[in-house]
């Protein structure tokens, strides 16, 4: 009887296999370095069995994936929806991400306290341990995307985001300090759209435009009920044009950085 694959573990298993083959290692060679058998490792790669957290950590330490394997394990273990797995996979393979943030600081740029406050108020039915898993996964995504060899990040946000207190004043100061630090190091480009801008082009909601190394582009729209992925060429073009309109009404990066510093000092 053929083995039954576990759909939620397919992405994790494929990533383990890809890392192993890239390293030029056999199943037996890798298993010998870990506390598992080659048979078990084969099942992990074929997604015919779930993987325990300690094994995922051993695989992460062995291959050194900058958190990619642990994040894929988290998605599999929590049964993350397909759209979420697709977005994170696209982010990991991205050369450029352009984000519009009219309400909150984008998730991948959030500090721990800010992210925790967002999840607590937005997911009132989740247990504390579930909230902490979500926070940890978000922080890991942020570290991956803001590393020196990460994708080019361009963030355009509404000025009201800077004055909206999330998690308390201390947390908000830390959040603005991180934005300033990343902008000063040129890890991200930030542009602020003044709150007084009439008929702001981005009133329809937050979105990200993700361009991958293969040249493909998708648009991800965020909402409280989940995410929406768009990859049809007309819609991608529309969002690219919309982002251009947002940049046209936004302040230049240098001026925007001063606006963030001013907001930081006002808290």
123 domain-assigned: no
User: Which of 59, 78, 97 delimits the end of a domain?
Assistant: 78
Residues 32 and 59 in one domain: yes
Range of the domain at 23: 7-78
| pTM metric for this prediction | 0.69
In DSSP notation, the chain reads -PPPP-GGGHHHHHHHHHHHHHTT--HHHHHHHTTS-HHHHHHHHHTSS---HHHHHHHHHHHT-TTHHHHHHHHHHHT--HHHHHHHHHHHTEEEEEEEESSS--GGG--HHHHHHHHHHH-TTS-HHHHHHHHHHHHHHHHHHTSTTS-EEEEEEETHHHHS--S-HHHHHHHHHHHHHHHHTTSEEEEEE-TT-TT-TTTT--EEEEEETTS-EEEEEEETTEEEEE--HHHHHHHHHHHHHHHHHSPPHHHHHHHHHHHHHH-
Q: Structurally, how many domains does the chain consist of? A: 2
114 domain-assigned: no
Residues 19 and 94 in one domain: no
- Per-residue pLDDT of the chain in tens (267 residues, 90 and over written 9): 567 788 778 888 999 999 999 999 999 999 998 888 999 999 999 998 888 888 999 999 999 988 888 888 877 876 665 556 666 777 777 889 999 999 999 988 999 999 999 999 988 888 888 888 888 888 888 888 888 888 899 999 999 999 999 999 999 999 999 999 998 888 789 999 999 999 888 888 899 998 988 888 888 887 655 567 777 889 999 999 999 999 999 999 999 999 999 999 998
């Amino acid at each position: 009887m053929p083995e039954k694959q576990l759909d939620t573990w397919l992405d994790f298993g494929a990533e383990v296999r890809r890392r192993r083959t890239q390293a030029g290692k056999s199943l037996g060679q890798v298993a010998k370095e870990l506390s598992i058998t080659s048979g078990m490792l084969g099942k992990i790669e074929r997604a015919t069995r779930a993987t325990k957290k300690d094994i995922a950590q051993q695989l992460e330490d062995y291959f050194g994936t900058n958190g990619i394997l642990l994040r894929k394990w988290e998605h599999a273990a929590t049964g993350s929806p397909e759209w979420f797995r697709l977005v994170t996979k696209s982010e990991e393979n991205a050369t450029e991400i352009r984000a519009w943030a009219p309400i909150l600081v984008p998730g991948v740029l959030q500090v721990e306290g800010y992210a925790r406050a967002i999840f607590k108020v937005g997911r009132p039915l989740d247990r504390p341990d579930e909230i902490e898993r979500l926070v940890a996964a978000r922080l890991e995504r942020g570290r991956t995307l803001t590393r020196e060899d990460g994708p080019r990040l361009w963030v355009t946000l509404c000025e009201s985001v800077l004055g909206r207190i999330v998690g308390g004043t201390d947390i908000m100061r830390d959040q603005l300090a991180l934005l300033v630090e990343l902008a000063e190091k040129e890890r991200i480009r930030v542009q602020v759209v003044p709150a007084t801008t009439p008929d702001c082009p981005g009133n329809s909601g937050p979105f990200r435009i993700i361009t991958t190394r293969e040249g493909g582009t998708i648009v991800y729209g965020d909402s409280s009920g989940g995410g929406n992925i768009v990859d049809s060429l007309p819609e991608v073009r529309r969002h690219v044009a919309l982002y251009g309109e947002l940049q046209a009404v936004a302040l230049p990066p240098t001026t925007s950085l001063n606006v963030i510093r001013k907001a930081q000092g006002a808290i």
